[in-house]
Amino acid sequence: MKAFFRTAVAAAALAMAGTLSAQAEQIKVGFSPEAYPPFYSQDASGNWGGWEVEIAMAICADQKLDCVLTPIPWDGLIPALKSKKIDTIMNSMSITEERQKEIDFSDKYYNTPTAVIGPKDQTFDATPEGLKGKILGVQVSTVHAAYAKKHFGDSAAEIKEYQTQDEANQDLVAGRIDATQADSIALDAFLKSDEGMACCDLKGYVAPDIEVLGPGVGAGVRKGDTELRDKINAGIKNIRDNGTYAEITKKYFDFDIYGDEPQSN
């Protein structure tokens, strides 16, 4: 059974089943309060849970950090980090050269391919030729938006941006767009929902572009905050070495999403 966490719950609620010491350093973990299963999901009581929540809290527990989930709209995460409203971002944010101009990143903690889905009754693939003349929905300020504009824009597809991926999915169901591009696991979760199964299927995976998509997902930290970055890196290594990472992952996936090849998210 997947664990869920209140927005202001400390890291110990997951991995230590108790309270951290009074000396524990409090860290505000920024995330966008939107459904992004299986990474982030909210239950009927308003509690947040999912693979990424559990991984974040396991890292915090390993490093004895008192971590508090702090909701910030997606396109406000980096500004909030820079202005010290939050201390780190752990929200499926890809490590890219463009973002590294503004913030620093930890080592990666997962890496999965980027996919395109569309209506079952249409046949096309995830290429400029396949998407030519179609309306492609993407979430604003993501690597998917940047990739779509670079590879599918101009003479190929019309790019439509949304504040959340769920909004893009809903417009796809309603027929207002022809396809959407996002992380393959998040889209797979949508395709397994009642709405997703009824309307859509996988059209393919986009071609690699490490410059845009990056080598994987990492935790964002402020420029120069090497102390926190080093703690997060140590936590990632430790939970992978001691089996915690695999234990959490097997509750959500039947494969290791860490990824040895740079593909995207």
- Summarised one tens digit per residue, pLDDT across range 207-252 is 989 999 999 999 999 999 999 999 999 999 999 999 999 999 999 9
The answer to whether the CB of 117 falls within 8 A of the CB of 172 is yes
Host H or E run for residue 244: helix 244-249
Q: Are strands 200-205 and 25-31 parallel, antiparallel or unpaired?
A: unpaired
Beta strand 135-139 with 179-183 is: parallel
SS3 40: strand
Residue 89 has φ and ψ, to the nearest 5°, of -115, 125
Residue 262 has pLDDT above 50, yes or no: no
SS3 assignment, position 21: coil
Query: What is the pLDDT at residue 19?
Result: 42
Q: What is the model's pLDDT at position 154?
A: 79
Domain 114-212, CATH: 3.40.190.10
- Sheet arrangement for strand 217-221: 65-71, 25-31, 88-89, 217-221, 104-110
**pLDDT value, residue 191:** 96
Q: Where are the domains of the chain?
A: 4-111+215-249, 114-212
Tell me the percentage of the chain whose pLDDT exceeds 90: 81
As a whole number, the mean pLDDT across the chain is 89
pLDDT at 64 over 50: yes
Q: What is the pLDDT of residues 69-124, one digit of tens each?
A: 999 999 999 999 999 999 999 999 999 999 999 999 999 999 989 999 999 999 99
Res. 163: pLDDT tops 90 = yes
> Domain 4-111+215-249, what architecture?
3-Layer(aba) Sandwich (3.40)
* Prediction pTM value: 0.74
pLDDT at residue 10 greater than cutoff 90: no
Q: How far apart are CA 238 and CA 236, in angstroms?
A: 6
Q: Is 114-212 the same fold as 4-111+215-249?
A: yes
